[in-house]
Structure 1
Amino acid sequence: MSISISAQVKRPYHNGSAWQISFIQIKPGMDAAYLNYLANDWKREREALKKDGQIVSYKVIQTEGHSGTDFNLLLMTEYRDLATMEANQSKADALAQQVIGTDEKQMQGYRERLAIREVLGTRLAREIVLEPK
């Protein structure tokens, strides 16, 4: 005869928002050109996503690069949770076509930005909201 006792572990936190974080290295002398793109096309797309309820917020964070191969800008997009982000991907693609243009136009813009910045990587992160004891 075996007795099974299961206890629920009380965690001192709960899951918060999901963040998509892109690590960008702006090429020397290209800050103004890249920030101009962010202030226009990138922001316009993020505002449309926010208005449509697909994202919660977005941020641009400038950092100091510690080496010639380090990132110097973070692009952060906040989603309610990972499931929402994944479920809305096709809606986000359709909205990008409305705001930015066709896939061809989007690819042309991407090729042009290769001259002014390099995307070093993108990560998904989940916020942990600490609860008081």
Structure 2
Amino acid sequence: MKMRFVSSLKIAGLATAIALAGCATTAIAQEPAAAAPAATAADDGYPLVGGDFWEITAIDLKPGGGLAYANHLATQWRAGQEFAKSKGWIKDYMVMSNYYNRAGEPDLYLISVIDHVPSGPEGEAQFVAYRAWAKSSAEKLQAESADRAEFREIMSNSLLQEMTFR
């Protein structure tokens, strides 16, 4: 799961850089009002400001797999999340149940909250530290994730940014 997290953050980091570059290009293309003083980020008139990032993994439980996966979440996943939290890599984590899920919708959502998307080198350093803590290799972690396919399927993975009002 951590490998997937780091990998998704690397991809998200690239997407974020592209999005921010697009915002900067748009801002540069707009001419400021002639008599208006230079605007600061806090008073530019835009009513929203970016906050924490939420990585959300949608999980479909296979028939009979609920208890096995719940045990995994309560032990290995939780321990890994607590380790990441102790290092300041994540701010919080949670498991949400899709109480009224319809056909084709996930049963669970695994959520990790972070305050920023790590750079490539930062994400790599986190993964190295995580592997050392887990006393595991990338190959073993990937094999363990594949083993969980017996009782769950990852339907999607999203990285959302909370937007708050100024």
Q: How many residues align?
A: 127
Distance 2:131 2:32 in 1: 55
Residue 127 of structure 2 aligns with which residue? 93
Unaligned runs of at least 5 residues, structure 1 = none
User: Residue type matched to 2:65 in 1?
Assistant: M
Instruction: Indicate the structure with greater strand content.
Output: 1
**Residue 127 of structure 2 aligns to which amino acid in structure 1?**
D
- Cα separation, 2, equivalents of 1:55 and 1:85: 14
- Check whether the contact 1:44–1:99 (CA below 8 A) recurs between aligned residues: no
Identity of aligned residues (%): 24
1:17 and 1:34 map into 2 onto residues whose CA distance is: 27
TM-score by length of 2: 0.69
- Is residue 34 from structure 1 mapped to residue 62 from structure 2 by the alignment? no
Unaligned runs of 5+ in 2: 1-30
Q: After the TM superposition, which segments of 4 or more aligned residues of structure 1 sit over 6 Å from their partners?
A: none
Q: TM-score, normalised on structure 1?
A: 0.84
State the distance in 2 between where 1:33 and 1:26 align: 10
Listed one character per residue, the Cα deviations across residues 17-40 of structure 1 (whole Å, up to 9, x for unaligned) are 011111110112211100111111
- Per-residue Cα deviation, 1:29-60 (whole angstroms, up to 9, x for no partner): 21110011111111111111111111111111
Of 40, 47, 66, which residue of structure 1 is paired with 2:102? 66
In structure 2, how many angstroms separate the alpha carbons of the residues matched to 1:37 and 1:63?
18
Matched AA of 2:113? E
Structure with greater helix share of residues? 2
Q: Structure 1 CA distance, aligned partners of 2:105 and 2:33?
A: 51
Give, in whole Å, the separation in 2 of the partners of 1:4 and 1:13. 20
Q: CA RMSD in A?
A: 2.0
Q: 3-state SS of the aligned residue for 2:90?
A: coil
Amino acid at match of 2:137: T
More moved, 101-110 vs 51-60: 101-110
Q: Is the 8 A contact 1:23 1:122 kept in 2?
A: yes
Task: Quote how far apart the aligned CAs of 1:129 are.
Answer: 1.2
Change (3 A) 1:31 1:63: same
Query: Which residue of the partner structure matches residue 49 of structure 2?
Result: 14
